[in-house]
Structure 1
Amino acid sequence: MSDTSEKQNWEINHRIDLPDLQALHNPGSPEVTLLVNNVKFPAHKSILASRSSYFQALFFGGMKESCESQVVLKDVNHIAFDHLLKYIYTGKVDLRVSREETAFDLLGLCDQWGFQELGDGICDILAANLQLSNIFPILEKGINLALSRLISACGRFCDERPDEILEHPLFPQISREALTTLVSRSSFFTQEEKIYEGVTKWVAKNDDDSVLSCVRLSLLSPEYLNNVVKCSGFFPLKEISDAIEESKGVQAIRKWEYRGYLPTPSPNSIIPIDITGAKSDLYHFGSRDLTNIDLSDTAVVFITLPKPTMLNTIRFYYVGRDFHTYSYFIETCPNKNQPVWEPVVDYTKYHCQWWQLLHFTLRVVHQVKLVATRNVGTASRMIPALQVRLYNLDRSYNVDPGTGLIIPTENVARKDMCASVINDENGQGVVFPLQRGSTRPTDENICQGLAAHVINQHNPHASITIQLVQPYLVSSMRFLLWNGPPGSNERRYSYCVEVSADIKNWTMVSDKRGDWLASWQEVTFEAQPVVYIRIRGTRVNSGDRRFGITYFECPSTLQGN
C-alpha cells in the first residue's frame, strides 16, 4: 500500500426500500426541522424512526420531542449529519471530498444512533484506504468506538510493515491502547530488538512504563539482554536473567511468547516449504513437490517454513496408485533452532487416506514434524509420495478439544472429499456422486449411486461399508433405502448400522433388525470418532434379496437445520 496511490472509492451505495421518495423530498411535506449547529434540516419523523432506534425513541417514545416541530441535536457535526440524513433517504454517502475527517464524525453518529450497516461500510472504506499517513488516527478511532473490524484491519496493515510503524515519527505520540493493540499481536513480526527500541522510546516520551510488558524479552538475544536491556533499568534483573536462560534454550520459551508472520487468510495463498525426512527422496511431479517416504525405519518427515509463520490449517496428501491406509501424528515447533514440539493431532489409532485436513488454534509454526506409524493394506513399507499445503484460513472449523477431531457441519461422505464404498457386492465399491452442497439426490444420482449386497444365510456378514478420508467426531447420518428396479413394488428392509475408527472395533449405533422400513433413514447417536460406517441389511420383502441404498451422508444435514 503506497501513501501516494488513490485507493478505493470513498462512496457508499446501500439499497433501501422507502415508499414514494419523490414525496419525501418535497420541501412542503416534512413534519420536523432538526437544528444542528444552527443549520436547519427538514425531515420526516416516520422515516427517521424507521431507519434508527434512536429516532424511534426520540419521536415516538413519549419524549417531549415527539410533539415539537423543531428539535435541537446537540454535540453533532452538521456536515456529518448532512451526510447521514442523505444516507437515511437515499442509502448513499459520498466522502470523496472530506474523507477521513467526516468519516470519523459519521462513525461516531453511527455508533450513537445505531446505523450498523453504514458504520460497517465506512470501516470497510477506511480499511481499504489505509496508509502510513492515516494509520494512527484511524486506529485510534477504531479503539475509541470499539470497532473490531477496523482495529483488525489496522493490525493487519501494521503487521505487513512493522519496521516502518516503529520508525514512524508519530509512533511515540500514539495512545497506550494503540501501542498495546499493535505490539502485543503475535503477528507483529520483526526483530524483537526493534520492538524493544520502539517501545522504550514511547515510554521515555510518555513517562508510562505499563507498555513494557509488550516486549517479549525471551526473544531478545542474550548479548542484547546483557549489554542493552540490563543497563536500561526498565526491567527487574530477575526477569532479565530468566529471559537470558530462555533465549539460550536452557529453559523452554512459553509458546505464546513467539511471534510469526501472518499470511493472508486464503486457501489460494501458497506458503513455500522445504520437505526433508529420514530415508526420504524429494522429487518433482508437474507443479507439485512430492516426497517418497520409506517406512522401513521410523518415517519422520520435517516440513520447514522460511520463517516463523502463524498457521491454523495443514493439508497433506499421500499420492499412491494402490489402495493405502495410513496412521500418523503431527507436531509443530515455533522455532526450528530451539525445537519445543507441541502436538497438533494424534491419529495413530485411526485409519486415514488421501487428503488430510487438520485444523487447530492459530499458532506460530516454523517446522512441522509428520510421523507415519502404519501403512495398512499393502506389503510395501513405502509411502508413495507426500504433498503438503500449510494455510492460515479465516474459515472456522469446529474442533473437539478432547480428541482434536473436526466436528463436521457438512456431509463428509462425498466423492469430492475422497469418501468411498469399500465393500459391496460389486467388489470395487461405489461412491455416492452428489454435487457439493446438494441435499437431495437426483434421478441420475440415484441410478449411479446404488450400493447393495445380497441378504442370505451363506454370507451373514455381507454389508455396505463406507470409509471416510479421516476420522471425524460425528453423531448422525442419513441414507435413502433403494426402492428397487423400475416397476417393482415398494421395498421394505430391516438393517443395522455400526461405526468404527479402525475397522476392528465396532459400535452398534442403530438396530432396526426388528422393523420394516423404507425411504429416508435418520440415525443419531452419541458423538464418537468415526472412519468406517457399516450398514448391513438383514431382511427384505423382495425375492432377489438385495439390500441397497442410493444416497448417504454423514453427518446428517438435517441435524444442522
Structure 2
Amino acid sequence: MFENQIELYLSTERSDVTLIVDGTKLPAHRSILSKGSDYFKTMFSSSFEEAKSNNVELKETNLEAFKVVLNYIYNDKANILHNGRTFNELFEVLACARYFMVDPLSALLVSCLKNRGTISTLITNALAYSIDELIEHGTKLLQQAAPYLIEKNIFEQLSPQAVDYVLKLPLNTKESIIFEALVGWMRNNLAYSKLFPEFLKHIDLSLLEKRHIDMLSEPTQIIDSNFCSTLLCQHQEQANGYLKVVNENVINNLRTVEGVIHLYPSGNRRVTSIYPKNFFTIDLQQQFLLNCIKFNLKLVVGYTVFVSKDMREWHCVIDHSKYDCFGLQVLYFTERVVRFLRIEAVESVSFSVTANVEALYLTDSFEVDSSTTLLIPKQNVIPKEMNTLSTETSTGVFTEGELNERHMRHRISNGCIVFQLSQPYIIGTIKLLLDKESSFYIEIITKKNNWTRIFSEKNVSGWRTATFEKQPLCCIKIVGTRSPSKYFHLHGLECYATMTDSI
C-alpha cells in the first residue's frame, strides 16, 4: 500500500488505471480504489473485462460528485464535505458514494444531511434518491411539525413525488390544515395540474367546511368542479359507514389531529396537548363501533372524554373532571359510532398519555352509571398485592402508610393508611382484613378533597365488611384507633359495587 496516498489523488505517478467519467480521464490506483470501495474491489478482483483494462469508463456518473467520492477514498477525511457544497450537491455525492459502495462516506453524509436543509427539501431529495434512512428521518420531522404545515410553509418546496408521499401519511394534524397546504402548493404549481385530482383523493373532503371546498374555485378554478362534487359525495357516503371489530384494539397507527406525539430517547411515545390547549384529539381514520377506551395518564389530573364522527358534534362519554386520576384508565360507555376521540384535562395544563391508546368494542358485560358515566364494577378493583408504587397496569396505589412485609401499617394516634384508585368507580362495599383485634374507622373521598366517614368498628379482627350507599369513590382512608401493639395492621383491602359482588 502507498504511503501518503493523498498525494496520489488525480496523479499519474504510479497510476495503473484510468477512470473515464463523462469524457474526463482521471488517473487512479487499483489498490487504493479496492481498499476504499467494495465496488472497485469486486471489479478489480473478478473476471470482468475491467479487471485487466487500463481504461475503465464509469457510465451515468456525475463527474463532480465522483471527484468528491474519489477524494475521500484517497484522503479518508471528512473535511471534503465542508467546501461550500449545496444541499442538493451533497445528495449527489451521497448517491455516488452509495453506488460505488464507499460505506463510511455514505454514513457520514447521511448524518450530515439529517441536520441540513428544510423538512421539505430533505424529504424531496431523500425520495428522489431513495435514501430510506433519510426518508424515515424526514418523516419523523414532518410529523413533529405537522400542526404547523401552513405556518412553516412545509409544502412549498415539495416535489410532486414528495407531495404524493406526504398525502399518504397519517399526518398528525387536522384534515383542513393538510387541505389548505395542498391548495397553496397547487396554486403555485399549476404546471402539474394533471396530478391534482389524484392528490385530492387523499384528502377526506367530508371533514371539510364549505369555505374549504370553495378554495378550489376562488379566486380562480384550479380543478374541475364536477370532479370535486363527485369526490365529495363519495367521501360523504363512505363516512356514513362503520366497522364493528370485536375485542380488538382498532388503533394500529396512532394519529393525532390536535396535539403532538413525542418520541423519547428511551423509545417511549406520548400523546401530549399543545399548550395553552388542554386537550388532544385522536383520529381513528374511519368510523368504528366502540364501547371502551384505555390509556395511561402521565399526570394526576381530572379529565373528560368526548367522541365525534366528524369533529363538528361532540358527545361526552366519560366525565372524570371532579376526580384526581392517574395511571391506567379503563373506561366503558354505551356503544356508539366513533371516529374522533378527544381527551381534555380540567385545568389549562399541557398533559399527556402514553401512546399505547386503545379503542375497543368489548363483548364483556359491564354496567355504567348514566348520571356520572362511572363504571359499576362487578369485581374487586383493588390489587391483591399491596404496593406503594404505581405501575402502568395497576388500578391504584397506597399513598399513605408503611409497607411492611406485604401488608400496610401505621402508628396508632399518628398517621393513617390511604389507598388512591387510579380512576373513580361506583362503590358500595369495602372489605378489610385485620390479623389482630383492633378498632378503626373508614373515610372516603367521593370528589376532590372531601373526606366523608362511612364506617367504624371496635375490637374486631378477620375480614370486616363496610356497606354503604353506592356512590362515586376514588380514595379510601383507614385510621386505626386501637391495636394490641403500637401499630395498626392492614393485611387485605377490597372494593366492590355491592355486597353481593364480594361473595
TM-score (norm 2): 0.48
TM-score (norm 1): 0.44
Which of structures 1 and 2 has the bigger CA Rg? 2
